[in-house]
Amino acid sequence: MFASTALIALLPGSLQATGPWSQPTTLAPCSAPGAPAVLFPTDEPRHPTGPGAIVWGAGSSCADGAGARVSAIAPGGDAPGPATRVGGARARARALALSPPIVAQAAPHGRLLLAGATDVSAGGRLALSEGPAGGPFATPWATGGPDAPLALTGAYLGDVALVSPGGSGADGARRLQLRVHRYYARAFSPPVSVAGAHGVESVAAAMDYRSDALVLWERDRTIYARYMPGSGRSSRAVAFVAHADPGAHIAALLSDDNRATIAWSETRLGVTSIYAELSSTGPRFGAPRLLERFSDPGGSPPPGDAGSPRLVRLSSESVMLAWSGVSAGRWVVHTAAIDETGVRTIATISQPGREALLEDLAPGPDGEAYALWSQPRAAGGGASGGNEDAAGEGESASGGGGGTGGGGASSGRLEYGDQALYAARGIDAYPGRTIFGAPQLVAAAGSEGVLGADSAVGVDPDSDRAIVAWRTSGGAIDYALHAVLPANG
C-alpha cells in the first residue's frame, strides 16, 4: 500500500552523509561481463536475517574457473571479506556448475539465491543455489529450462520469486514458470505455469506483503500481465497492459491493495519513450502515462539495461521511480514520487550540463533511497562534464523541476566503456516530490574506470551504510563504502 502523505521537513544537509565515499578498493581482479549485486537479507526493512554480500560472476579465464563468487559483508563492519567460489568449474557436480551471467537476490532465513547457466554450449540451462553469504551453498539444481529471459524479485518478509522459461505444457510448448520461496518455507514451492514462453523478449515480476505475485512480459510488441495469488486462490487471466516495442525494459511493484505500479522504457529507431502506470484494484490496467520521449543522445541507447526505469518501495511505504531521461540534449537522471494519484513531480537529480545514466536505485532502512548513475565520456575526448569530487562542486540537484522531454543539440557520440560513477541520497517528501542531496563522486573515470551498466548499490539495514560495487573496464570488481550517517540523519 502507499504511505499516507506527511510533512517531512529536512534541510539539504540532512540528506548528505558526514563524509565522502571511501577510495575504491579491488575485491577481485577478474570477473565475467555483467553487473555485481549488493544484497542484504531481511525480514523487514530494519531487521537483517543474515550477513549481506556482494555477488558476481567469474569467467573461465579467472582463477578457479568460471562460476559464482560471493563476498560476505561482516555485520557491523560493512567491509566485504574474501571471495568464496560457488559452483565453479571444479565443483563436485560439474554438470550443474553455475556459469555466468550470475543473477542474485536476497532469500528467506538469511540466505542468498544465485541463478546461472549450467550448459552454455547447449544454449544454457538455468540452475539455482541457495546459501548464507559465508556459505555453504547448496549443490545447484536445474529448473529444466533455458537461463534467459528471467526475473528475480523479493518481498517485504524476505520471500523471493523467480520467473523463467521452464518445462513444456501438454502441447509440448515451453512455458513461463513462476517459482516462489516464501519466508516461512525451507524451499521453493513447485513451479506454476504463467503463460507460453515462445517469443518472450523481456520479463519482470513483483510480490506484495502476502507473497502474491505479478508477472509481466513483452511478446509480439505487447506487454502482458498475470496476477498469481500465493494463498491458493485461482490465478487471474492473462491481461493486456500496453503495446510496446520489442525488448522493452519493465519494472514493477505490487501493493497489498492489489494495485500495481509499472514503468518501462522502449527504443525504436533511436527514439526512446518512458511510460508509467498505476493500475486500479485487481490489478486492472488502463492507459499508461507517457513521461518522456526523446532522441537518444549520441545517436544510440546506452548498453544493456542502463537507464532503464527503477521502482522501489521505501521503508516508509512510499514508492519512488527513477529513470534516465534527457534535458537539453544530454542524458540526465530523473526521479519522481508515486502515490494514489500516480506519478507526481518529476525532478532532475544529476548535475546540470553533464551526461548521466541511471545504474541503480536502492532503498535504505530509514525511509531513504540511494540513486546511482554513471557519467559517460565523450568519444575521443575527456570525461563528459568533468569528474569533480565530493558534492559535484556545490551544485545541489535537490528537488528541482526536471520536466519531461528533451531539447537542444545532441552532445555527440559517447563512450560507454569507461565512466565515472556518482551517487546521491534522497527521500519521498510531501507533497508528492523527491528530494535528493548533492551528488557525490564514487569512482572517477580512467584506465580502470567503471564499465557502463555494470554497477549496483545496496544499503546495510543495520548500519544504514550504502555500498557500491562495480565492474571496471579492466574486468576487476571494485567497491566503495559511504560514510555512516548520524543517528538522526
Average confidence (pLDDT) over 109-133 = 86
Check residue 268 and give left, alpha or beta (phi > 0: left; psi -120 to 50: alpha).
Answer: beta
**Is residue 94 classed as helix, strand or coil in its secondary structure?**
helix
At CA 265, angle to CA 289 and CA 149, rounded to 5?
A: 130
- Rounded to the nearest 10 degrees, how much is the dihedral formed by the CA atoms of 143, 145, 148, 150? -50
Average confidence (pLDDT) over 163-192 = 87
Q: Tell me, what DSSP letter sits at residue 12?
A: G
For 395-448, the pLDDT digits (tens) are: 333 444 444 444 444 456 787 777 899 999 999 998 899 999 999 999 988 756
SS3 content of the chain, % helix, strand, coil (to 5): 5, 50, 50
The predicted structure's pLDDT at residue 479: 95
Report whether pLDDT(378) > 80: no
The predicted structure's pLDDT at residue 211: 87
Distances (CA, A) of 417 to 19, 249, 323, 421, 425: 29, 21, 20, 12, 25
Q: Tell me, what DSSP letter sits at residue 284?
A: B
Distances (CA, A) of 250 to 266, 351, 388: 9, 26, 33
Average confidence (pLDDT) over 92-97 = 52
Question: Which has the higher per-residue pLDDT, 423 or 473?
Answer: 423
Beta bridge partners of 122: none
End-to-end CA distance of the chain: 25
Question: Which has the higher per-residue pLDDT, 93 or 182?
Answer: 182
Runs of H (alpha helix) within 309-451: none
Mean pLDDT of all residues belonging to the chain? 84
The predicted structure's pLDDT at residue 299: 77
The predicted structure's pLDDT at residue 253: 96
Separation between Cα atoms, residue 256 and residue 250, nearest integer Å: 20
Runs of H (alpha helix) within 225-366: none
Report whether pLDDT(92) > 80: no
Average confidence (pLDDT) over 6-13 = 41
Q: Is residue 452 very low, low, confident or very high in pLDDT (cuts 50, 70, 90)?
A: low
For 253-286, the pLDDT digits (tens) are: 999 888 999 999 999 988 999 999 999 998 999 9
Question: Which has the higher per-residue pLDDT, 485 or 297?
Answer: 297
Q: Is residue 11 very low, low, confident or very high in pLDDT (cuts 50, 70, 90)?
A: very low
Q: C-alpha grid cell for residue 435?
A: 528530494
Separation between Cα atoms, residue 474 and residue 342, nearest integer Å: 42
Report whether pLDDT(456) > 70: yes
Question: Mind listing the domains of the chain with CATH numbers?
Answer: 12-481 (2.130.10)
Q: How far is CA 320 from the centre of its chain?
A: 13
Report which residue type is found at 58.
A
Report whether pLDDT(389) > 60: no
Separation between Cα atoms, residue 122 and residue 118, nearest integer Å: 9
Separation between Cα atoms, residue 81 and residue 72, nearest integer Å: 5
Least confident span in 42-51, 207-216, 402-411: 402-411
DSSP string, 428-487: EETTTEEEE---EEEE--STT-EEEEEEEEEE-TTT--EEEEEEETTS-EEEEEPPPPPT
Separation between Cα atoms, residue 37 and residue 200, nearest integer Å: 25
Separation between Cα atoms, residue 363 and residue 76, nearest integer Å: 19
Exposed/middle/buried for residue 286 (C-beta within 10 Å: 0-12, 13-18, 19+):
exposed
Instruction: Collect all residues with Cβ–Cβ distance below 8 Å to 24 and sequence separation of at least 6.
Output: 442, 443, 478, 479, 480
The predicted structure's pLDDT at residue 430: 84
Distances (CA, A) of 96 to 32, 67, 91, 394: 18, 10, 8, 51
Separation between Cα atoms, residue 159 and residue 381, nearest integer Å: 47
- Could you count the other beta carbons within 10 Å of the beta carbon of residue 93? 12
Q: Is residue 318 very low, low, confident or very high in pLDDT (cuts 50, 70, 90)?
A: very high
Q: Tell me, what DSSP letter sits at residue 280?
A: B
Share of the chain above pLDDT 70, in %: 82
Q: Is residue 385 very low, low, confident or very high in pLDDT (cuts 50, 70, 90)?
A: very low
Report whether pLDDT(121) > 80: no
For 228-254, the pLDDT digits (tens) are: 987 666 678 999 999 999 989 999 999
Query: What's the alpha-carbon Rg for the chain, to the nearest Å?
Result: 21
Average confidence (pLDDT) over 87-91 = 47
Report whether pLDDT(93) > 60: no
